[in-house]
Structure 1
Amino acid sequence: MASVEKPLAGKRIVLTRAPEQAREWARALEQMGAEVILLPTVAFAPPEDWRLLDEQLRRLDVFDAILFLSKNAVRYVLERLNQLGIKFEMLQSPNRIIAAVGPGTAGALTAQGVRVDHVAEGRTGEALAGELRQSLKGRKVLLPRSDKGDDRVLHALREAGAEVTEVIAYRTTTPASLDPAIVGRIRRADVDAIVFASPSAYHNLSDALGPAEAAALSSRVHFVAIGPTTARAMRQAGARVEIEASEASAGAAGLAASIAKFYGSAHVPAGKRALPEHPEDRQRT
């Protein structure tokens, strides 16, 4: 039974992140009493060919700004710089803007001694482009990102007048297999909530279940989306999003608090809503 100390006691929460990325989330949820179930639905891998990224990393001096949209972009760029023997200091110059989406991405840079000049308040690539619109006009921008990155940020940067060089820093892939026992529990709605941190995380589970079954499941299990981009992709696929945690609050403690607040706001049986519906969800009711 839930208590003030353990507000998520008895709740079975599935995390779809890779284990190394889900560790802090799992710890925070478990401290609130939740049973955490790990089902990684995304995996990450280097580019199939390093040459395009290497070419840009060897000519960093031509760029006026470098934008990092995720911690994975930071990880793969810094790892590759190290492999090429290029010092991290080369990312920085007095007149170059280093910008990041969200505090997690910024923290991944500063942890390696890389200065961050701007952290997007809006927590999306589009927001970052909008916030830097005046600064990037007519400037050369390097955008290292996933092979499945959202093109909206690219369009927003170009509309702002930036000269953008987009390069694949890593690939977002599907794990070789998903644990059939956990997938079975999800099919039976034998869990209370599933947390998705990216559109790919949802789409890969949807592919495993079948798109119609995945969308229908959201009426029996509470779906949690991290950030507006993930929430939008899930709704476009027909799913209900019960909890939308902002990327700003999606640190481990913030995510756990958002879920605890949802369950504490009222008695919430599966498929019922304690929070106002998003207009896109209401249209499908």
Structure 2
Amino acid sequence: MPSGSGVQIAGGEGGVGALFEREHLLVGDEGIVLAEHHLERLPQEHPGVRVCGEPLDGVLRGRDRTPPVLDGAPQADQRRVALPERGAHCTPRPQPPVGAPGRVPLAGGGSPHGEPHERGAQGPEHCLIMVLGPERLQPRMPPEPRRHARHPLAGRRIVVTRAREQAGELARALEALGAEVLAVPTIRIVPLADLSALRAALTDPAAYDWIVFTSQNTVHVVCDRLVEWGLAARDLARMAVAAIGPATAQALERYGVTPDVVPPKYVAEAVVAAVVARGAVHGKRFLVPRAREARDALPEGLRARGAIVDVIPVYETVRAAGDGGALAAQLLGGTIDVVTLTSSSTVRGFVDLVGRAAATSGRFSAAVIGPVTAASARELGLPVAIEAEDYTVGGLVAALVRYYAEGGTGKGET
């Protein structure tokens, strides 16, 4: 607060603040003082208080530090001046201990809430204590820290529906931001028992120009069997390798395979565009190992451009075992804020697990990893409120943080 600006001290029951209620103060360079005309008027309006001339004169002439009116607050230099009752000598009296919490009580039991002339007549004469010290009031108080600045998801109950072996990354990221995570896998990833078609395709790498990986699951199923089939990562590298997104690319790199193409958008259509940008695909042969049930956008997009595409299913998603009754009850009771969905299969698994009534209740928000998952969720009537702009786990977490920062309620579709 700039020097010379007016402030007010609110009154309080039996405290010094009550004496100055609605009295204008000045903020000086070193503290708060009553304006000079108020100091002169104070004894008139408060007959029980007298301001000694010597301390007052010293303050006004700048001889002493300006005396902040601080209710029991400790001062740096412990000097005090007592303003005795009218008619008494200006001899300082024993003062209450510095730093005592709360208000400094006034003598007598008069109410502090009357007008100035009324307060002075309600009880014995009072002694106003003012502390002289070098404490400086800040120009303004710092803003209150934003609640949950380091934990923006604190207090939010968020369900993670990914397969158990894939849920860790998302769960840890949410917990690090303060969320209470409920891991409820709605699907399991099951490699197909018969992978002979995949083996035959991989043992003749010259048969294909490209291999396209559309999920981490495919990477694990394929690469975990290379050694068993007498192959190595270098055999995959004889083909051009495309990965649908950074998570799939990182999974490949852990096996020693570096993708040639990772599109900027992590959907099948973007893979087609990125591959075509590398050169003509007409007549090229593509191997696409994938889930048994998957969108056909990728193979159809390549075939539309003249490519020869072999799609080989290598795994399937099945509903995770377990009873969804407890989760359904929490959803219907409104105690879940968000359900995260990272694939169309998790959407279907979630609805199967908790039932259509709970899934479409509108008592929670669905947070989806991208537009394909969003479309599946809306098709089944789920209340989609949050959609990642970056179709990754990190993008989903960022979307959740942004949603609540912008005032999201966690209930229903926005």
Bin for the TM-score computed over the shorter chain: 0.7 to 0.9
Work out whether 1:129 is the aligned partner of 2:258.
Answer: no
Rg comparison, structure with higher value = 2
Aligned partner of 2:185 among 18, 27, 40: 40
Which ranges in structure 1 are unaligned for 5 or more consecutive residues? 274-285
What is the 5 A alignment of 1:111-130? 111-130=254-273
Alpha-carbon spacing, 1:99–1:135, altered in 2? closer, same or farther (3 Å): farther
Partners of 1:126 and 1:272 in 2: CA distance? 27
Task: Specify the code of the residue in structure 2 equivalent to 1:124.
Answer: V
Deviation at 1:236, TM superposition (A): 2.0
1:228 corresponding residue in structure 2 = 371
Work out whether 1:82 is the aligned partner of 2:224.
Answer: no
The C-alpha deviation readout for 1:82-119, integer Å capped at 9, x for no partner, is 221211110012xx320001100011111221121000
Determine helix, strand or coil for the equivalent of 1:242. strand
1:276 corresponding residue in structure 2 = none
Determine helix, strand or coil for the equivalent of 1:36. strand
Residue identity over aligned pairs, in percent, reads: 35
1:263 corresponding residue in structure 2 = 404
Aligned partner of 1:50 among 195, 204, 214: 195
Which ranges in structure 2 are unaligned for 5 or more consecutive residues? 1-145
User: Where do 4+ consecutive residues of structure 1 move more than 3 Å?
Assistant: 209-213, 246-249
Alpha-carbon spacing, 1:249–1:76, altered in 2? closer, same or farther (3 Å): closer
Work out whether 1:239 is the aligned partner of 2:348.
Answer: no
Partners of 1:245 and 1:267 in 2: CA distance? 15
Partners of 2:399 and 2:161 in 1: CA distance? 17
Determine helix, strand or coil for the equivalent of 1:270. coil
Query: Which stretch of structure 1 is more off in the superposition, 3-12 or 176-185?
Result: 176-185
Work out whether 1:8 is the aligned partner of 2:149.
Answer: no
1:60 corresponding residue in structure 2 = 205
Task: Specify the code of the residue in structure 2 equivalent to 1:118.
Answer: V
The C-alpha deviation readout for 1:194-220, integer Å capped at 9, x for no partner, is 000111101112123333542x22x22
Partners of 1:179 and 1:38 in 2: CA distance? 12
Task: Specify the code of the residue in structure 1 equivalent to 2:235.
Answer: M
Work out whether 1:18 is the aligned partner of 2:195.
Answer: no
Partners of 2:413 and 2:300 in 1: CA distance? 38
2:251 corresponding residue in structure 1 = 108
2:283 corresponding residue in structure 1 = 138
Deviation at 1:131, TM superposition (A): 2.3
Task: Specify the code of the residue in structure 2 equivalent to 1:130.
Answer: A
- Contact 1:2 1:9 (8 Å CA) reproduced: no
Work out whether 1:28 is the aligned partner of 2:173.
Answer: yes
Deviation at 1:268, TM superposition (A): 2.0
Determine helix, strand or coil for the equivalent of 2:148. coil
Query: Once superposed, what is the RMSD of the aligned Cα atoms?
Result: 1.9
Alpha-carbon spacing, 1:269–1:130, altered in 2? closer, same or farther (3 Å): closer
Alpha-carbon spacing, 1:51–1:212, altered in 2? closer, same or farther (3 Å): same
Alpha-carbon spacing, 1:178–1:98, altered in 2? closer, same or farther (3 Å): farther
Deviation at 1:163, TM superposition (A): 0.2
- Structure ranking higher in helix proportion: 1
Query: Which stretch of structure 1 is more off in the superposition, 125-134 or 168-177?
Result: 125-134
Deviation at 1:70, TM superposition (A): 0.5
Work out whether 1:159 is the aligned partner of 2:304.
Answer: yes
- Contact 1:129 1:157 (8 Å CA) reproduced: yes
TM-score normalised over the length of structure 2: 0.61
2:12 corresponding residue in structure 1 = none
TM-score normalised over the length of structure 1: 0.87
Determine helix, strand or coil for the equivalent of 1:104. helix
